[in-house]
Structure 1
């Protein structure tokens, strides 16, 4: 009888395809190539570049509002807004360093997940130390000086969205943390850094402002907070984020047809709709477990995240059918292999969505696209 039971278990296991097997097959070559690149990189943190316009110090993350420009009539006066039009002269070095950090950890963690080779884990440690525990190079755990505007603000709550690129760092550590090669004292230090950052994110006025934002900024606050709370094991914050998704984000942002009217009203309606849906779906991916299935959650009127994917999917499969205004910038660069496609396909067993994701660009190089793609290494999330 014992042998029969073992045989049945083996048969069941051999018939079961893990949900990310297809994804591994699609991404393996790219992931290993990215990881080979990552192994050659030296750490670069916020201390590697400074801006004289920053009100912070060398350890403080600094960025500037994308759509703010010098006043041509009075060049020395406060900047003026040109919504949707990115100022190429803004300081972006810290943002690029954080994105690079995210790419390195995401690639190494993905390669470790595919191969089990702990050499990838060892290569990640110097970067993690540099950003989180080395007093000479670490970043302070706040975004107090993010998306400043010359002559107007030294920083804004809106700047918190720049830190979405720390999510794949935290998630990559979760994937690698049990490896024998992972430095456990470093792990404690990283957890401490994210605990401090979460405290700032939930108590500082900038964090409160961003949490209460009505569009993609509010979505991304929940997405980040959920990701970092899962990493630190903060169950109270996880519960708060689930409630926020159910009671605020979904009912206040999604229309009856599954669209996001606040994003459609922007000067880049296509790109912002993609971005907000990516963030909403990633929230469901992070916060769903056996007791809390956000994929199945729906409002009394039937609005749910599946309806959001179903609304936007046809315009990803064929952008030419988009019935709204074109984006004022970066219209041609979208869509790419969006996380909402792969996460949604996995959650709802939608092969068509998976097929479309498979065909799209998995390694975009345009800086604006990369900046607005919260998940670029789906293997570490599944």
Structure 2
């Protein structure tokens, strides 16, 4: 009898194991592979971050800003001096970045994103709270200390000389606060993250979420038809998750299902509005990354956006399947090449990793492994909000 019971147990275990393997990898497999690929880089970057001092928006300013020292300011990338009127309003040259624009606040925010993302990743791997302690120094400087904090709005982002002191399109600049919010979420239970600071940081993000949802620029950005609306939703989802705003998260899920995915994606999985731009390759990648991150942030066992499909068959899986061949072999791209930075794409795109995790697509994961995980070109970094994927898994 004992032998029969033992054999039955072994058989059941084998059948269960086979069943689980048929439905994809065991929980945490992608996370372990990601850590294996990135561990050396993560620890090096975390050690770099340990030596950095805070640099906030108050460290630099532009005479062209209509705001005060605590206001984030940036200038629209594709606007240039008019050769016919050099001192007059700037004119648009789509896809061509003006290198003389004021970018110091954007660079400082990207730097903060890198610091917090690196420290949170280092903490997740090692459990060492020295990384949390250092992160708190930077979080206080940006979001708590009255002398150095940034105001929770983007009234003066992507301004255009002679035309706009700020535009709703500038809201896209704060996609680089996503890994700051996620890093805070990863580290908030550590003893080194004192409750008072955690509460103040969440209050800042709560104020910013309110501004994004009620201000004129915020409402305008939410209703734009292309990647700007996707990125509005992506960052609001990230910030709302930190704040525990379940109703807000549910609202963004509905927006994804009824607006963003069905209205931006074609039935073949492409994004026509992005492909019509002067940088169709880069913008297609950028928007797919953002759509993918929405699925990663918002999905739950009860409402899994990875499995969502519209009545006419549009889905995030179809979007990844459409673009993947052009990532694996760029020479297959059928449209015109991007007017700038064509040679700098692709890098280790988030949609490859998180898509591989969701659908158990080994080829997507292998391609992600081979691509550049540490890009240095500023334009690539500007369009790559997720550079520390381990803290999202």
TM range (shorter): over 0.9
In 2, the alpha carbon distance for the partners of 1:343 and 1:307 equals: 14
Q: Choose which of 359, 378, 388 in structure 2 pairs with 1:367.
A: 378
Given the alignment of the two structures, is residue 252 of structure 1 paired with residue 251 of structure 2, yes or no?
Answer: no
- The alignment partner of 1:295 has SS state of helix
Q: Which residue of 1 aligns with 2:20?
A: none
Q: Choose which of 266, 288, 291 in structure 2 pairs with 1:277.
A: 288
Q: Which residue of 2 aligns with 1:128?
A: 139
- The alignment partner of 1:245 has SS state of helix
Report how many residues are paired: 375
Q: Which residue of 1 aligns with 2:52?
A: 41
Q: Which residue of 1 aligns with 2:253?
A: 242
Decide whether aligned partners of structure 1 residues 102 and 116 sit closer, same or farther in structure 2, where only a CA change above 3 A counts.
same
TM-score, normalised to structure 1, is: 0.96
User: Which of 1 and 2 has greater Rg?
Assistant: 2
Per-residue deviation at 1:16? 4.6
In 2, the alpha carbon distance for the partners of 1:17 and 1:272 equals: 32
- The alignment partner of 2:184 has SS state of helix
Following TM superposition, the consecutive aligned residue runs of length 4 or more in structure 1 with deviations greater than 2 angstroms are none
Structure 2: give runs of 5+ residues left out of the alignment. 1-5, 18-24
In 2, the alpha carbon distance for the partners of 1:217 and 1:146 equals: 14
Decide whether aligned partners of structure 1 residues 290 and 16 sit closer, same or farther in structure 2, where only a CA change above 3 A counts.
closer
User: Which deviates the most, 308-317 or 69-78?
Assistant: 69-78
Q: Choose which of 170, 175, 184 in structure 1 pairs with 2:181.
A: 170
Given the alignment of the two structures, is residue 199 of structure 1 paired with residue 247 of structure 2, yes or no?
Answer: no
Q: Which residue of 1 aligns with 2:67?
A: 56
Q: Which residue of 1 aligns with 2:236?
A: 225
Per-residue deviation at 1:183? 1.2
Structure 1: give runs of 5+ residues left out of the alignment. none
The one-character-per-residue Cα deviations of 1:167-209 (angstroms, maximum 9, x if unpaired) are 0000000000011111110000000000100110000010011
Query: RMSD across aligned C-alpha pairs, in angstroms?
Result: 1.6
Q: Which residue of 1 aligns with 2:338?
A: 327
User: Which deviates the most, 366-375 or 15-24?
Assistant: 15-24
In 1, the alpha carbon distance for the partners of 2:302 and 2:142 equals: 34
Q: Which residue of 2 aligns with 1:344?
A: 355
Q: Which residue of 1 aligns with 2:35?
A: 24
In 1, the alpha carbon distance for the partners of 2:173 and 2:66 equals: 17
Q: Which residue of 1 aligns with 2:80?
A: 69
Given the alignment of the two structures, is residue 315 of structure 1 paired with residue 332 of structure 2, yes or no?
Answer: no
Mapping for residues 294-309 of structure 1, pairs under 5 Å: 294-309=305-320
- The alignment partner of 2:273 has SS state of helix
The one-character-per-residue Cα deviations of 1:98-152 (angstroms, maximum 9, x if unpaired) are 0000000000000111111111111111100000000000000000000000000
Per-residue deviation at 1:23? 0.4
In 1, the alpha carbon distance for the partners of 2:26 and 2:172 equals: 39
In 2, the alpha carbon distance for the partners of 1:290 and 1:131 equals: 35
TM-score, normalised to structure 2, is: 0.93
Decide whether aligned partners of structure 1 residues 119 and 94 sit closer, same or farther in structure 2, where only a CA change above 3 A counts.
same
